């Protein structure tokens, strides 16, 4: 079949016989809606990003974990009105089981911690980089998958855990050239809302739902927020007070509203004090309006934002002390964050900080005659066994083609296997940057 280079339009199937000739409809060569391919240049950037995620996680002493992309649907069914639930990529499999492509990694982490039970010693410090999914009607044209870096600390009830997590993200930003002038963290605590709800006698079981409604405060009109809060049964006065506290601009003002005895103030003061010790004070600010959109957060919450305000949240996280018991697990405190692979790339583009990542191969090896192809394979293998990267020319090609390919793959050296030299156990080496050329015994080639 004559390839048509993957361009659209039908291709003519191979002649079955003189009489029959059928048109074969070419498949859609694009990935499914909302998903991405990672061609080599995209994969180089993704690996660059993920390697920084992994290196920071290693620096902080975290162990890598992973879970299936496919989980039972039940793992993500929460009745708090979350967007992540409304957009769950769920279906019934051939065994009539309700399953879902994971929309986030934290429930899987909780499941694995419970599964491990007493066989693991707390605290656990785990990290993962995993593809997460949502099913959103493409009307909004948004993606249906992204990769998320998560770091989590399981078994530490103190704010030192959240302080360390923020330090790890700051470390990541610094590694890729992002400064506190580019990005900051809005920090608050859900205990602010919890203490307000208690003050107004709002039942505890409404806490998650109220947080999810309030998280929409900048996305839908305030009257809609008030209406949704009212539908939970909260009084108008309590709603006014709640919304009032969200606009508080400092910890001192918050203390005036809540009083100094509560955990919210204590946690936040400790976090800001620890930020000083970790050396990232200029990166964080108190912002009472931060609640985050996941119902299971119970304490400190934070989100990374771009100071220009052009982009969606870069990352986010917080304390989720009640998640494991909701799956029947022990009452183990936990906190963590999620960091997506999309907004950060938009930010790097905006800051002109995208790395230049060309293909890099040290050697291109080429036989000068057809019957030296085997010899070329021997040379390539010798170099590879010494840890050298080699692009072996696998068919007979004109030298002009070889030089073009050497330039395209950014090869440092061209190794030519010629008849005369090879009879002497030697090859010809050309250093492509300088043009320097010399012969060397294969045994001395390194």
Ligand X SMILES: OCc1cccc(Br)n1
User: Is residue 134 near ligand X by the rule CB under 6 A?
Assistant: yes
Residue with tokens 């800051």, as numbered in its chain: 351
User: Is residue 78 near ligand X by the rule CB under 6 A?
Assistant: no
Which lies closer to ligand X via its Cβ, residue 133 or residue 283? 133
Q: What is the spatial distance between Cα 428 and Cα 226, in angstroms, rounded to a whole number? A: 78
User: Is residue 296 near ligand X by the rule CB under 6 A?
Assistant: no
With contacts defined by CB under 6 A, name the span among 142-150, 265-273, 386-394, 423-431 that binds ligand X.
142-150
Which lies closer to ligand X via its Cβ, residue 52 or residue 143? 143
Nearest CA to 427 out of 412, 443, 406 is that of 443
Which lies closer to ligand X via its Cβ, residue 313 or residue 415? 313
Which lies closer to ligand X via its Cβ, residue 145 or residue 391? 145
- Least separation in angstroms between residue 131's CB and ligand X is 8
- Least separation in angstroms between residue 88's CB and ligand X is 9
SS3 317: strand
User: Is residue 292 near ligand X by the rule CB under 6 A?
Assistant: no
User: Is residue 143 near ligand X by the rule CB under 6 A?
Assistant: yes
Q: Which residues pair with 99 in a beta bridge?
A: 72, 91
User: Is residue 132 near ligand X by the rule CB under 6 A?
Assistant: yes
Among 145, 162, 303, 391, binds ligand X (CB under 6 A): 145
Name the packing angle between helices 190-199 and 263-278 (round to 10°).
170
* Count, residues near ligand X per rule CB under 6 A: 9
Supply 40's token pair. Answer: 């080599």
Q: What is the spatial distance between Cα 34 and Cα 132, in angstroms, rounded to a whole number? A: 12
Asked if 243 and 230 touch (Cβ cutoff 8 Å), the reply is no
Q: What is the spatial distance between Cα 418 and Cα 369, in angstroms, rounded to a whole number? A: 7
User: Is residue 146 near ligand X by the rule CB under 6 A?
Assistant: yes
Which lies closer to ligand X via its Cβ, residue 208 or residue 316? 316
- Least separation in angstroms between residue 142's CB and ligand X is 7
Nearest CA to 340 out of 157, 149, 58 is that of 149
How far from each other are the two terminal CA atoms of the chain, in whole angstroms? Answer: 43
Which lies closer to ligand X via its Cβ, residue 342 or residue 432? 342
Neighbours of 362 (CB within 10 A): 15
Supply 209's token pair. Answer: 């739902």
Residue 315's H or E segment, with its range, is strand 315-319
x/- map, 165-204, ligand X, by CB under 6 A: ----------------------------------------
Asked if 302 and 284 touch (Cβ cutoff 8 Å), the reply is yes
x/- map, 324-343, ligand X, by CB under 6 A: ----------------x---
Sites of contact with ligand X (CB under 6 A): 103, 132-134, 143-146, 340
């Amino acid at each position: 079949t004559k390839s048509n280079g993957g361009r659209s339009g039908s291709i003519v199937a191979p002649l079955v016989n003189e009489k029959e000739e059928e048109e074969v409809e070419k498949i859609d060569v694009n990935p499914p809606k909302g998903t991405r391919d990672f061609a080599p240049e995209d994969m180089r950037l993704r690996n660059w990003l993920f390697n920084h995620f992994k290196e920071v996680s290693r620096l902080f002493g975290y162990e890598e974990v992973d879970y299936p992309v496919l989980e039972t649907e039940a793992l993500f069914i929460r009745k708090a009105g979350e967007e992540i639930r409304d957009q769950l990529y769920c279906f019934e499999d051939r065994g009539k089981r309700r399953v879902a492509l994971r929309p986030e990694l934290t429930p899987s982490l909780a499941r694995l911690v419970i599964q491990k039970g007493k066989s693991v010693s707390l605290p656990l410090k785990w990290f993962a980089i995993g593809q997460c999914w949502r099913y959103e009607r493409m009307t909004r044209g948004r993606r249906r998958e992204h990769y998320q870096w998560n770091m989590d600390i399981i078994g530490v009830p103190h704010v030192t855990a959240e302080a360390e997590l923020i330090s790890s993200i700051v470390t990541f930003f610094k590694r890729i050239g992002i400064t506190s002038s580019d990005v900051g963290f809005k920090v608050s605590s859900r205990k602010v809302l919890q203490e307000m709800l208690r003050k107004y006698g709002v039942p505890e079981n409404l806490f998650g739902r109220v947080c999810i409604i309030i998280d929409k405060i900048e996305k839908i009109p305030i009257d809609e927020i008030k209406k949704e809060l009212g539908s939970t049964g909260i009084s108008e006065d309590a709603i006014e007070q709640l919304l009032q506290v969200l606009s508080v601009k400092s910890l001192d003002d918050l203390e005036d509203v809540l009083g100094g005895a509560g955990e919210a103030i204590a946690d936040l003061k400790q976090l800001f004090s620890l930020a000083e010790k970790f050396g990232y004070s200029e990166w964080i600010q108190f912002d009472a309006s931060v609640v985050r959109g996941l119902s299971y957060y119970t304490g400190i919450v934070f989100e990374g934002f771009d100071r220009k305000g052009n982009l969606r949240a870069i990352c986010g996280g917080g304390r989720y002390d009640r998640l494991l018991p909701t799956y029947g697990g022990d009452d183990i405190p936990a906190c963590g964050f999620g960091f997506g692979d999309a907004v950060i790339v938009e930010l790097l583009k905006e800051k002109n900080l995208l790395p230049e990542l060309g293909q890099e191969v040290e050697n291109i090896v080429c036989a000068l005659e057809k019957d030296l192809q085997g010899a070329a394979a021997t040379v390539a293998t010798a170099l590879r066994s010494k840890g050298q990267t080699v692009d072996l020319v696998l068919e007979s090609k004109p030298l002009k083609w070889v030089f073009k390919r050497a330039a395209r793959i950014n090869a440092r050296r061209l190794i030519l296997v010629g008849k005369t030299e090879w009879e002497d156990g030697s090859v010809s080496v050309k250093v492509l940057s300088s043009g320097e050329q010399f012969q060397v015994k294969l045994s001395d080639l390194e």
